[in-house]
Amino acid sequence: MINFITRHFTSLWALITSPFRAMWRVIVRIFPPREFTVMDTPRGNVYTFKQSSFWRFTKFCGKLGLIIWATWSTYVFVYHRPLLQKRTMQLEQARARHARQMTDLQVYLAKYNELTRNLNVTDDKILNAKRLTEAEKENLMNARLKTWGELDFLRTRVGEIFTDDEYTAEYTKLSELSAEYELTRAENEELKKRNAAIVESMQAVVAADTEIVDTVSRLAADKTEELRKDLKKINGTIASLGLSERALIDGANRYSNPMVGAAFSPPEIDKNLDPKYQKLADDLELWSGLARLRIILPTGAPVKQMRITSNYGMRNDPFNGKRKQHRGIDFAGKIGTELMAVAPGRVVSAGERVGYGTTVEIDHGLGFTTLYAHLSQIMVSRGDWVRPGTVVGLGGSSGRSTGPHLHYEIRYKGAQFDPSTFVKE
Protein backbone atom coordinates (compact mmCIF):
# COMPACT_ATOMS: atom_id res chain seq x y z
CA MET A 1 0.00 0.00 0.00
CA ILE A 2 2.78 2.40 0.96
CA ASN A 3 4.73 1.39 -2.13
CA PHE A 4 1.60 2.16 -4.28
CA ILE A 5 1.25 5.55 -2.67
CA THR A 6 4.91 6.47 -3.01
CA ARG A 7 5.03 5.13 -6.59
CA HIS A 8 1.99 7.15 -7.87
CA PHE A 9 1.58 10.04 -5.41
CA THR A 10 4.04 12.38 -3.78
CA SER A 11 2.21 12.32 -0.45
CA LEU A 12 -0.84 11.16 1.41
CA TRP A 13 -2.48 14.59 0.86
CA ALA A 14 -1.98 14.17 -2.85
CA LEU A 15 -3.82 10.83 -2.65
CA ILE A 16 -6.73 12.34 -0.70
CA THR A 17 -7.14 15.32 -3.00
CA SER A 18 -6.63 13.44 -6.25
CA PRO A 19 -10.40 12.89 -6.88
CA PHE A 20 -11.10 16.57 -6.38
CA ARG A 21 -8.23 17.57 -8.65
CA ALA A 22 -9.58 15.16 -11.27
CA MET A 23 -13.01 16.74 -10.98
CA TRP A 24 -11.49 20.20 -11.27
CA ARG A 25 -9.64 19.21 -14.44
CA VAL A 26 -12.98 18.07 -15.90
CA ILE A 27 -14.59 21.40 -14.88
CA VAL A 28 -11.70 23.36 -16.42
CA ARG A 29 -12.05 21.33 -19.62
CA ILE A 30 -15.81 22.09 -19.76
CA PHE A 31 -15.53 25.70 -18.56
CA PRO A 32 -12.15 26.93 -19.81
CA PRO A 33 -11.05 30.48 -18.86
CA ARG A 34 -12.16 33.24 -21.20
CA GLU A 35 -10.99 36.71 -21.95
CA PHE A 36 -13.19 39.57 -23.10
CA THR A 37 -11.92 42.70 -24.79
CA VAL A 38 -13.91 45.91 -24.48
CA MET A 39 -13.00 49.03 -26.42
CA ASP A 40 -13.77 52.49 -25.10
CA THR A 41 -14.35 54.19 -28.46
CA PRO A 42 -14.48 57.87 -27.32
CA ARG A 43 -11.20 57.59 -25.44
CA GLY A 44 -9.53 54.91 -27.58
CA ASN A 45 -8.81 52.68 -24.59
CA VAL A 46 -8.94 48.90 -24.73
CA TYR A 47 -9.87 46.89 -21.63
CA THR A 48 -9.42 43.17 -21.19
CA PHE A 49 -11.47 41.18 -18.70
CA LYS A 50 -10.82 37.58 -17.76
CA GLN A 51 -13.36 35.05 -16.54
CA SER A 52 -11.79 32.15 -14.68
CA SER A 53 -13.04 28.59 -14.81
CA PHE A 54 -14.17 28.86 -11.21
CA TRP A 55 -16.26 31.98 -11.97
CA ARG A 56 -17.85 30.37 -15.02
CA PHE A 57 -18.58 27.14 -13.09
CA THR A 58 -20.07 29.11 -10.18
CA LYS A 59 -22.29 31.10 -12.53
CA PHE A 60 -23.45 27.88 -14.21
CA CYS A 61 -24.29 26.32 -10.83
CA GLY A 62 -26.29 29.44 -9.90
CA LYS A 63 -28.28 29.31 -13.12
CA LEU A 64 -28.84 25.57 -12.74
CA GLY A 65 -30.05 26.08 -9.15
CA LEU A 66 -32.42 28.84 -10.26
CA ILE A 67 -33.87 26.60 -12.98
CA ILE A 68 -34.32 23.72 -10.53
CA TRP A 69 -36.00 26.03 -7.99
CA ALA A 70 -38.36 27.47 -10.62
CA THR A 71 -39.24 23.99 -11.88
CA TRP A 72 -39.97 22.71 -8.38
CA SER A 73 -42.03 25.79 -7.50
CA THR A 74 -44.09 25.38 -10.66
CA TYR A 75 -44.65 21.71 -9.87
CA VAL A 76 -45.74 22.48 -6.32
CA PHE A 77 -48.05 25.27 -7.51
CA VAL A 78 -49.67 23.19 -10.26
CA TYR A 79 -49.96 19.87 -8.42
CA HIS A 80 -50.14 20.65 -4.71
CA ARG A 81 -52.26 23.81 -4.82
CA PRO A 82 -55.49 21.98 -5.80
CA LEU A 83 -54.81 19.46 -3.05
CA LEU A 84 -54.32 22.28 -0.57
CA GLN A 85 -57.55 23.94 -1.71
CA LYS A 86 -59.38 20.63 -1.42
CA ARG A 87 -58.04 20.11 2.11
CA THR A 88 -59.00 23.65 3.02
CA MET A 89 -62.55 23.10 1.70
CA GLN A 90 -62.85 19.86 3.62
CA LEU A 91 -61.67 21.63 6.78
CA GLU A 92 -64.30 24.38 6.28
CA GLN A 93 -66.99 21.74 5.75
CA ALA A 94 -65.89 19.97 8.92
CA ARG A 95 -66.04 23.24 10.82
CA ALA A 96 -69.50 24.00 9.43
CA ARG A 97 -70.70 20.50 10.34
CA HIS A 98 -69.29 20.91 13.84
CA ALA A 99 -71.03 24.28 14.17
CA ARG A 100 -74.33 22.70 13.08
CA GLN A 101 -73.89 19.89 15.57
CA MET A 102 -73.25 22.36 18.37
CA THR A 103 -76.32 24.30 17.32
CA ASP A 104 -78.32 21.08 17.31
CA LEU A 105 -77.08 20.24 20.79
CA GLN A 106 -78.22 23.64 22.03
CA VAL A 107 -81.63 23.15 20.41
CA TYR A 108 -81.92 19.64 21.86
CA LEU A 109 -80.89 20.88 25.31
CA ALA A 110 -83.57 23.58 25.21
CA LYS A 111 -86.11 21.03 24.01
CA TYR A 112 -84.99 18.55 26.70
CA ASN A 113 -85.44 21.14 29.45
CA GLU A 114 -88.89 22.01 28.10
CA LEU A 115 -89.99 18.35 27.97
CA THR A 116 -88.60 17.68 31.45
CA ARG A 117 -90.51 20.65 32.81
CA ASN A 118 -93.70 19.49 31.11
CA LEU A 119 -93.19 15.98 32.50
CA ASN A 120 -92.76 17.30 36.05
CA VAL A 121 -95.90 19.44 35.72
CA THR A 122 -97.89 16.48 34.43
CA ASP A 123 -96.65 14.22 37.28
CA ASP A 124 -97.51 16.90 39.82
CA LYS A 125 -101.03 17.18 38.45
CA ILE A 126 -101.48 13.42 38.54
CA LEU A 127 -100.16 13.05 42.12
CA ASN A 128 -101.75 16.09 43.74
CA ALA A 129 -105.09 16.36 41.94
CA LYS A 130 -107.78 14.67 44.00
CA ARG A 131 -110.87 15.45 42.00
CA LEU A 132 -110.00 14.32 38.53
CA THR A 133 -112.41 12.59 36.27
CA GLU A 134 -111.37 9.48 34.40
CA ALA A 135 -111.21 11.40 31.15
CA GLU A 136 -108.91 14.03 32.67
CA LYS A 137 -106.69 11.33 34.15
CA GLU A 138 -106.52 9.60 30.80
CA ASN A 139 -105.58 12.88 29.07
CA LEU A 140 -102.81 13.50 31.61
CA MET A 141 -101.44 9.98 31.15
CA ASN A 142 -101.49 10.36 27.40
CA ALA A 143 -99.63 13.66 27.72
CA ARG A 144 -97.07 11.99 30.02
CA LEU A 145 -96.54 9.14 27.54
CA LYS A 146 -96.17 11.61 24.69
CA THR A 147 -93.55 13.56 26.64
CA TRP A 148 -91.61 10.37 27.39
CA GLY A 149 -91.73 9.46 23.69
CA GLU A 150 -90.28 12.82 22.74
CA LEU A 151 -87.51 12.40 25.35
CA ASP A 152 -86.63 9.00 23.86
CA PHE A 153 -86.51 10.55 20.43
CA LEU A 154 -84.15 13.24 21.73
CA ARG A 155 -81.83 10.58 23.19
CA THR A 156 -81.74 8.82 19.82
CA ARG A 157 -80.97 12.01 17.92
CA VAL A 158 -78.22 13.05 20.35
CA GLY A 159 -76.62 9.65 19.91
CA GLU A 160 -76.73 10.03 16.13
CA ILE A 161 -74.83 13.32 16.38
CA PHE A 162 -71.73 11.46 17.62
CA THR A 163 -72.08 8.16 15.75
CA ASP A 164 -73.58 8.96 12.32
CA ASP A 165 -71.33 10.88 9.87
CA GLU A 166 -74.33 11.61 7.63
CA TYR A 167 -76.34 13.02 10.50
CA THR A 168 -78.85 15.77 9.67
CA ALA A 169 -80.83 17.05 12.62
CA GLU A 170 -84.53 17.55 12.21
CA TYR A 171 -84.65 20.11 14.98
CA THR A 172 -81.97 22.13 13.20
CA LYS A 173 -84.13 22.17 10.09
CA LEU A 174 -87.09 23.28 12.15
CA SER A 175 -85.06 26.01 13.81
CA GLU A 176 -83.82 27.22 10.44
CA LEU A 177 -87.36 27.21 9.11
CA SER A 178 -88.50 29.07 12.21
CA ALA A 179 -85.82 31.71 11.71
CA GLU A 180 -86.75 31.98 8.04
CA TYR A 181 -90.39 32.31 9.02
CA GLU A 182 -89.66 35.07 11.51
CA LEU A 183 -87.55 36.92 8.96
CA THR A 184 -90.24 36.55 6.32
CA ARG A 185 -92.92 37.68 8.72
CA ALA A 186 -90.89 40.76 9.65
CA GLU A 187 -90.35 41.55 5.98
CA ASN A 188 -94.05 40.99 5.34
CA GLU A 189 -94.98 43.43 8.09
CA GLU A 190 -92.59 45.99 6.64
CA LEU A 191 -94.06 45.43 3.18
CA LYS A 192 -97.56 45.88 4.60
CA LYS A 193 -96.55 49.21 6.11
CA ARG A 194 -94.96 50.32 2.85
CA ASN A 195 -97.98 49.12 0.90
CA ALA A 196 -100.28 51.11 3.18
CA ALA A 197 -98.11 54.19 2.64
CA ILE A 198 -98.14 53.57 -1.12
CA VAL A 199 -101.92 53.16 -1.09
CA GLU A 200 -102.27 56.48 0.74
CA SER A 201 -99.89 58.14 -1.72
CA MET A 202 -101.76 56.61 -4.66
CA GLN A 203 -105.04 57.90 -3.27
CA ALA A 204 -103.53 61.36 -3.03
CA VAL A 205 -102.14 61.01 -6.55
CA VAL A 206 -105.53 59.85 -7.86
CA ALA A 207 -107.24 62.80 -6.18
CA ALA A 208 -104.66 65.22 -7.58
CA ASP A 209 -104.89 63.56 -10.99
CA THR A 210 -108.66 63.88 -11.03
CA GLU A 211 -108.44 67.52 -10.02
CA ILE A 212 -105.79 68.23 -12.66
CA VAL A 213 -107.76 66.43 -15.40
CA ASP A 214 -110.95 68.26 -14.46
CA THR A 215 -109.17 71.64 -14.35
CA VAL A 216 -107.41 71.12 -17.67
CA SER A 217 -110.63 69.83 -19.22
CA ARG A 218 -112.53 72.93 -18.05
CA LEU A 219 -109.73 75.18 -19.25
CA ALA A 220 -109.60 73.42 -22.62
CA ALA A 221 -113.40 73.67 -22.96
CA ASP A 222 -113.38 77.39 -22.06
CA LYS A 223 -110.51 78.19 -24.40
CA THR A 224 -112.02 76.07 -27.16
CA GLU A 225 -115.30 77.94 -26.83
CA GLU A 226 -113.50 81.29 -27.00
CA LEU A 227 -111.57 80.23 -30.10
CA ARG A 228 -114.72 78.93 -31.74
CA LYS A 229 -116.41 82.30 -31.14
CA ASP A 230 -113.49 84.02 -32.90
CA LEU A 231 -113.77 81.67 -35.87
CA LYS A 232 -117.56 81.59 -35.95
CA LYS A 233 -117.68 84.67 -38.20
CA ILE A 234 -115.79 82.90 -40.95
CA ASN A 235 -117.50 79.49 -40.67
CA GLY A 236 -119.84 80.28 -43.55
CA THR A 237 -117.00 81.28 -45.81
CA ILE A 238 -115.02 78.17 -44.82
CA ALA A 239 -118.03 75.97 -45.57
CA SER A 240 -118.41 77.63 -48.98
CA LEU A 241 -114.83 76.57 -49.76
CA GLY A 242 -115.75 72.95 -49.07
CA LEU A 243 -113.86 72.87 -45.78
CA SER A 244 -114.92 71.68 -42.34
CA GLU A 245 -113.75 72.66 -38.91
CA ARG A 246 -112.38 69.14 -38.32
CA ALA A 247 -110.37 69.16 -41.54
CA LEU A 248 -108.91 72.58 -40.75
CA ILE A 249 -108.04 71.51 -37.20
CA ASP A 250 -106.27 68.36 -38.40
CA GLY A 251 -104.40 70.37 -41.02
CA ALA A 252 -103.39 73.04 -38.49
CA ASN A 253 -102.03 70.43 -36.06
CA ARG A 254 -99.96 68.83 -38.82
CA TYR A 255 -98.76 72.17 -40.26
CA SER A 256 -95.39 73.59 -39.19
CA ASN A 257 -93.23 76.55 -40.13
CA PRO A 258 -90.79 78.86 -38.32
CA MET A 259 -93.58 81.32 -37.46
CA VAL A 260 -96.16 78.82 -36.16
CA GLY A 261 -93.82 76.21 -34.72
CA ALA A 262 -93.58 72.45 -34.96
CA ALA A 263 -96.54 70.22 -35.68
CA PHE A 264 -98.67 69.13 -32.73
CA SER A 265 -98.65 65.40 -32.00
CA PRO A 266 -101.67 64.36 -29.92
CA PRO A 267 -100.84 62.00 -27.05
CA GLU A 268 -101.61 58.32 -27.54
CA ILE A 269 -103.76 57.02 -24.70
CA ASP A 270 -103.98 53.37 -23.71
CA LYS A 271 -107.51 52.13 -24.36
CA ASN A 272 -107.48 50.28 -21.03
CA LEU A 273 -107.19 53.53 -19.07
CA ASP A 274 -110.08 55.64 -17.83
CA PRO A 275 -111.98 57.16 -20.81
CA LYS A 276 -111.51 60.61 -19.24
CA TYR A 277 -107.88 60.60 -20.39
CA GLN A 278 -108.87 59.98 -24.01
CA LYS A 279 -111.47 62.77 -23.76
CA LEU A 280 -108.82 65.07 -22.32
CA ALA A 281 -106.44 64.19 -25.16
CA ASP A 282 -109.20 64.92 -27.70
CA ASP A 283 -109.96 68.25 -25.99
CA LEU A 284 -106.29 69.20 -26.05
CA GLU A 285 -106.02 68.28 -29.73
CA LEU A 286 -109.09 70.41 -30.50
CA TRP A 287 -107.76 73.30 -28.41
CA SER A 288 -104.37 73.14 -30.11
CA GLY A 289 -105.91 72.97 -33.59
CA LEU A 290 -108.21 75.95 -32.99
CA ALA A 291 -105.39 77.98 -31.41
CA ARG A 292 -103.11 77.27 -34.36
CA LEU A 293 -105.93 78.09 -36.80
CA ARG A 294 -106.38 81.41 -35.03
CA ILE A 295 -102.73 82.15 -35.84
CA ILE A 296 -102.55 80.67 -39.35
CA LEU A 297 -105.77 81.94 -40.97
CA PRO A 298 -105.41 85.41 -42.55
CA THR A 299 -108.11 87.17 -40.53
CA GLY A 300 -108.08 90.90 -39.88
CA ALA A 301 -107.57 94.07 -41.87
CA PRO A 302 -104.31 94.86 -43.71
CA VAL A 303 -104.59 98.61 -42.86
CA LYS A 304 -104.83 100.44 -39.55
CA GLN A 305 -107.79 102.62 -40.56
CA MET A 306 -110.16 100.40 -42.49
CA ARG A 307 -112.42 102.13 -45.02
CA ILE A 308 -113.75 99.86 -47.76
CA THR A 309 -114.51 101.55 -51.08
CA SER A 310 -115.41 98.47 -53.10
CA ASN A 311 -116.51 95.01 -51.96
CA TYR A 312 -116.04 91.62 -53.54
CA GLY A 313 -118.52 90.72 -56.34
CA MET A 314 -120.11 92.21 -59.41
CA ARG A 315 -119.66 95.97 -59.99
CA ASN A 316 -119.37 98.56 -62.75
CA ASP A 317 -115.86 98.67 -64.15
CA PRO A 318 -114.39 102.16 -63.36
CA PHE A 319 -112.77 102.35 -66.81
CA ASN A 320 -115.55 101.27 -69.19
CA GLY A 321 -118.65 101.16 -66.95
CA LYS A 322 -119.44 97.52 -67.80
CA ARG A 323 -120.49 94.95 -65.16
CA LYS A 324 -117.50 92.92 -64.11
CA GLN A 325 -116.46 90.61 -61.28
CA HIS A 326 -114.37 92.35 -58.63
CA ARG A 327 -112.15 89.65 -57.11
CA GLY A 328 -111.13 91.41 -53.93
CA ILE A 329 -111.78 94.30 -51.57
CA ASP A 330 -110.54 97.83 -52.12
CA PHE A 331 -109.36 99.88 -49.13
CA ALA A 332 -109.10 103.65 -49.39
CA GLY A 333 -105.74 105.15 -48.61
CA LYS A 334 -103.09 107.64 -49.58
CA ILE A 335 -99.89 106.89 -51.40
CA GLY A 336 -97.40 105.66 -48.79
CA THR A 337 -100.01 104.12 -46.47
CA GLU A 338 -98.41 101.19 -44.60
CA LEU A 339 -99.91 97.84 -45.55
CA MET A 340 -99.45 95.02 -43.06
CA ALA A 341 -99.45 91.23 -43.06
CA VAL A 342 -102.51 89.88 -41.23
CA ALA A 343 -101.01 86.47 -40.36
CA PRO A 344 -97.60 84.80 -40.32
CA GLY A 345 -96.40 83.47 -43.64
CA ARG A 346 -93.79 83.51 -46.38
CA VAL A 347 -93.57 85.93 -49.29
CA VAL A 348 -94.01 83.91 -52.49
CA SER A 349 -94.22 86.81 -54.92
CA ALA A 350 -93.00 90.42 -54.85
CA GLY A 351 -93.04 92.36 -58.13
CA GLU A 352 -95.12 93.53 -61.08
CA ARG A 353 -98.27 91.77 -62.33
CA VAL A 354 -100.39 92.64 -65.33
CA GLY A 355 -103.39 94.69 -64.19
CA TYR A 356 -102.39 94.47 -60.53
CA GLY A 357 -99.31 96.64 -60.82
CA THR A 358 -96.81 96.27 -57.99
CA THR A 359 -97.95 93.33 -55.86
CA VAL A 360 -96.94 91.21 -52.88
CA GLU A 361 -98.35 87.71 -52.29
CA ILE A 362 -97.94 85.85 -48.99
CA ASP A 363 -98.49 82.12 -48.37
CA HIS A 364 -99.96 81.51 -44.89
CA GLY A 365 -100.29 77.74 -45.12
CA LEU A 366 -103.22 75.33 -45.35
CA GLY A 367 -103.79 76.62 -48.93
CA PHE A 368 -104.51 80.27 -47.94
CA THR A 369 -102.66 83.21 -49.54
CA THR A 370 -103.14 87.00 -49.42
CA LEU A 371 -102.49 89.42 -52.30
CA TYR A 372 -101.66 93.15 -52.00
CA ALA A 373 -102.00 95.04 -55.32
CA HIS A 374 -101.44 98.58 -56.75
CA LEU A 375 -98.55 99.25 -54.30
CA SER A 376 -96.21 102.19 -54.67
CA GLN A 377 -93.32 100.38 -52.94
CA ILE A 378 -92.50 96.81 -51.84
CA MET A 379 -90.97 96.46 -48.35
CA VAL A 380 -90.22 92.69 -48.43
CA SER A 381 -88.47 90.24 -50.75
CA ARG A 382 -89.50 86.92 -52.16
CA GLY A 383 -88.74 84.16 -49.60
CA ASP A 384 -89.00 86.43 -46.53
CA TRP A 385 -90.93 85.21 -43.47
CA VAL A 386 -93.34 87.82 -42.07
CA ARG A 387 -95.27 88.13 -38.84
CA PRO A 388 -98.69 89.76 -38.22
CA GLY A 389 -98.18 93.51 -38.41
CA THR A 390 -95.08 93.34 -40.63
CA VAL A 391 -95.23 96.14 -43.23
CA VAL A 392 -95.07 94.39 -46.61
CA GLY A 393 -95.57 97.46 -48.84
CA LEU A 394 -96.86 101.02 -49.18
CA GLY A 395 -100.17 102.07 -50.72
CA GLY A 396 -100.14 103.40 -54.27
CA SER A 397 -101.90 103.45 -57.63
CA SER A 398 -99.77 101.23 -59.85
CA GLY A 399 -101.27 99.00 -62.54
CA ARG A 400 -104.90 99.29 -63.66
CA SER A 401 -105.99 101.79 -61.02
CA THR A 402 -108.00 105.02 -60.98
CA GLY A 403 -106.44 106.35 -57.78
CA PRO A 404 -104.46 105.49 -54.64
CA HIS A 405 -105.94 102.47 -52.88
CA LEU A 406 -105.19 98.86 -51.84
CA HIS A 407 -106.69 95.98 -53.75
CA TYR A 408 -106.67 93.07 -51.27
CA GLU A 409 -107.45 89.43 -52.06
CA ILE A 410 -107.54 86.22 -50.04
CA ARG A 411 -107.18 83.02 -52.07
CA TYR A 412 -107.68 79.37 -51.22
CA LYS A 413 -105.53 77.06 -53.36
CA GLY A 414 -105.15 79.84 -55.93
CA ALA A 415 -108.88 80.69 -56.27
CA GLN A 416 -110.30 84.01 -55.04
CA PHE A 417 -113.28 84.12 -52.66
CA ASP A 418 -115.16 86.79 -50.79
CA PRO A 419 -112.80 87.81 -47.93
CA SER A 420 -115.26 90.12 -46.18
CA THR A 421 -115.84 87.80 -43.22
CA PHE A 422 -112.06 87.38 -42.81
CA VAL A 423 -111.49 91.15 -42.88
CA LYS A 424 -114.39 92.22 -40.63
CA GLU A 425 -113.51 90.55 -37.33
pLDDT (0 to 100) of residue 407: 93
- In this prediction, residues 291-299 reach a mean pLDDT of 88
Residue 414 sits at φ, ψ, to 5 deg, of 90, -10
Residue 366 has pLDDT above 80, yes or no: yes
* pLDDT computed for residue 172 by the predictor: 47
Tell me which DSSP letter residue 273 carries. Answer: S
Q: How far apart are CA 289 and CA 278, in angstroms?
A: 16
What average pLDDT does the chain have? 80
Domain ranges across the chain: 31-164, 169-296, 308-423
Write down the pTM of the prediction: 0.51
- At 267 the pLDDT is 76
Better-scored residue on pLDDT, 9 or 128: 128
Residue 241 above 70 pLDDT? Answer: yes
Q: Report whether pLDDT(141) > 50.
A: yes
CB-count exposure of residue 150 (10 Å: 0-12, 13-18, 19+)? middle
pLDDT of 84 > 90? The answer is: no
Candidates 344, 343, 347; CA nearest to 384 is 347
Mean of pLDDT values over 344-359: 92
Contacts of 281 (CB under 8 A, 6+ apart): 266, 267, 269
Sequence-distant (≥ 6) Cβ neighbours of residue 406 within 8 angstroms: 302, 303, 330, 331, 333, 337, 339, 372, 373, 374, 375, 395
Mean pLDDT on 206-216: 73
- Max avg pLDDT among 45-54, 132-141, 374-383, 399-408: 374-383
Of the spans 192-201, 240-249, 270-279, which averages the highest pLDDT?
A: 240-249
Output the pLDDT for position 171: 47
Lowest mean pLDDT among 128-132, 271-275, 276-280, 316-320: 128-132
pLDDT of residue 167: 60
Mean pLDDT for the stretch of residues 219-233: 74
* Environment class of 397 (CB within 10 Å of its CB; exposed 0-12, middle 13-18, buried 19+): middle
Mean of the pLDDT values across residues 350-379?
93
Task: Tell whether the model's pLDDT for residue 112 goes beyond 60.
Answer: yes
- Tell me: pLDDT of 162 over 70: no
For the residues 401-408, what does the mean pLDDT come to? 90
Superfamily covering domain 308-423 = Glucose Permease (Domain IIA) (2.70.70.10)
